[in-house]
Amino acid sequence: MASLRCVAVALAVLVAAPALGQPSAQARAYGLYVEGRKAFRAANYSRALENLARSFALDPRPTVAYDIALCHRAPAQYRSSIASFQRYLKLRGATLRPWERKKVESLISEMERKLCKLTVDAEPAGATVKVDGQGVGTAPLPGPVSVDPGRRVIEVTQDGFAPVAQTVEVADGQSLHVTITLEQRVRAGVLIVTSPAPGATAAIEGGPSQPLPLTVRIPVGEHPVKVMAPNHLPQERTVTVTPDDVTRVEVVLVPAPEPVLVTKAPAGPPVEQPTPVYRRAWFWVTLGAVAVAAGAAGGYLGYRSRSGESFDRSLQLR
């Protein structure tokens, strides 16, 4: 069957060449077709497709379209194979015999059942979705995407967001649901901090101290920067970083004042402390005299009281 097709193509080229006046293009097309068929029989499908596609571009014959479809079908490139078979049916048109049409349609149905259904939920809305480098629409997609089985690469991109590429593996006829959410790209700038103070360091946003000069890429906006150095007073500034720009800050630290030494005054002569009253002799002499006098007075009063009581009783007895 294949040899008959080759002969048919060759005869068509020879017959049509004088009339069309393009023998060179048709001859090249036929040579590429022969090379493509040879590569297909050796299972070198990529080489076969290359030659057959070039042949079809020079001379778009139905037979070449049919063989291109076979080259795609062999390595499970079902979507491309279906498209090539449909191109073949269109080129043959009414000349296609019923049994030939039925055979091609049967091959198409078989491959359609092997296609995989890939549902991609992507955010934010409006993000571009690609599968194997081919655009399939913008988020949200209207429905599942038909893909060939095997390893597929899904890409989602959107301005202002970090792109995401995800690889998935799908089998014949499998349905797979994939969710991809893009993260907003952080706008950033470059900040360079310097100081002439020896051993100076800087801490940004209260983070760890880093030696100067310091070059960092940080988000745009205001950032507190604290610069320190030995024997210098620390200094803190608020620095504004602009997008995709370099912000330079030089901080001149003020030396710390010299410490003041406090010396103790020399000790003078000892100061004599006054002797407490209770340690003086005259205090105890006086205290003793007072005690004696108090005792004598108490004895007299007691004697008098007892003498009066006895006298009164003697009178009553008489």
pLDDT at residue 38 is higher than 60: yes
Minimum mean pLDDT among 57-71, 132-146, 214-228, 255-269: which range? 255-269
- 182 vs 15, more confident: 182
| Helix axis angle, 45-58 to 62-73, nearest 10° | 160
Q: How far apart are CA 91 and CA 60, in angstroms?
A: 9
| Helix axis angle, 2-20 to 62-73, nearest 10° | 140
In the 3-class helix/strand/coil scheme, how is 199-219 assigned residue by residue?
CCEEEECCCCCEECCEEEEEE
Q: Which of 90-94, 186-190, 301-305 has the highest mean pLDDT?
A: 90-94
When computed from its CA atoms, the radius of gyration of the chain, rounded to whole angstroms, is 55
10, exposed or middle or buried, with CB in 10 Å at 0-12, 13-18, 19+? middle
pLDDT at residue 302 is higher than 70: no
pLDDT at residue 299 is higher than 60: no
Minimum mean pLDDT among 43-47, 58-62, 138-142, 269-273: which range? 269-273
Q: How far apart are CA 237 and CA 246, in angstroms?
A: 17
What is the mean pLDDT of the segment spanning 35-59?
A: 94
pLDDT, the chain, mean: 83
Q: Where are the domains of the chain?
A: 2-113, 116-181, 188-250
Q: Indicate the CATH number for domain 116-181.
A: 2.60.40.1120
For the domain made up of 2-113, give the CATH fold: 1.25.40
Q: What digits encode the pLDDT tens for the residues 104-137?
A: 999 999 999 999 999 999 999 999 999 999 999 9
Q: Can you give the pLDDT at residue 261? A: 64
What is the mean pLDDT of the segment spanning 3-26?
A: 53
Q: Can you give the pLDDT at residue 276? A: 63
Residue position matching structure tokens 């310091």: 214
Q: What digits encode the pLDDT tens for the residues 198-209?
A: 999 999 988 899
Find, among 158, 152, 151, the residue nearest to 131 by Cα. 152
Q: What digits encode the pLDDT tens for the residues 62-93?
A: 999 999 999 999 999 999 999 999 999 999 99
Q: Can you give the pLDDT at residue 7? A: 40
What is the mean pLDDT of the segment spanning 146-157?
A: 94
Specify the pairing of strand 246-250 against strand 188-194: parallel
Minimum mean pLDDT among 15-19, 150-154, 156-160, 284-288: which range? 15-19
pLDDT at residue 263 is higher than 80: no
Share above pLDDT 90 across residues of the chain, in percent, rounded to a whole number: 60
